[in-house]
Amino acid sequence: MTQVRDQLKDKLRLQFGEAVTFNSEFPAKTRVLPNTCNVSFHGRNRQGYKILGACKRLQASVGAACHSHGSVSKVLLACGIPAEDAINAIRLSVGRATTFRDIDEVIVDLCEALQSIDQHAGS
């Protein structure tokens, strides 16, 4: 799972560059969970729930694992994540059956979802 999660992170970095922030990366910290990745996409109207609502394949969660719907994750804020990133946060998880091909399909899905959101924001 760690290899697939790392592939996900690498593909996100390659595709989105500076437009994506990894909220689950902290200096000098050892990762405990091998299968999760918490990210935020920068830009107007890119809240996590809007992105997931526009995705056709990806199923994920917004915020942090212990966050209540309709509010900014207090856990992410307590970790020092800026509010503008915390409100856009998406928690991605991979499983034992997740393949590298699945990762490629998720990247395409995210690209299409963000394009759709950006087009509707410009209308």
Instruction: State the pairing for strand pair 61-62/20-22.
Output: unpaired
Our answer to whether residue 66 is catalytic in this structure is yes
Question: CB–CB of 22/38 below 8 Å?
Answer: yes
Q: CA 6, CA 35: separation in Å to the nearest integer?
A: 9
Catalytic residue, chosen from 55, 66, 79, 111, is 66
- Residue 106: strand, helix, or coil: helix
Residues involved in catalysis: 66
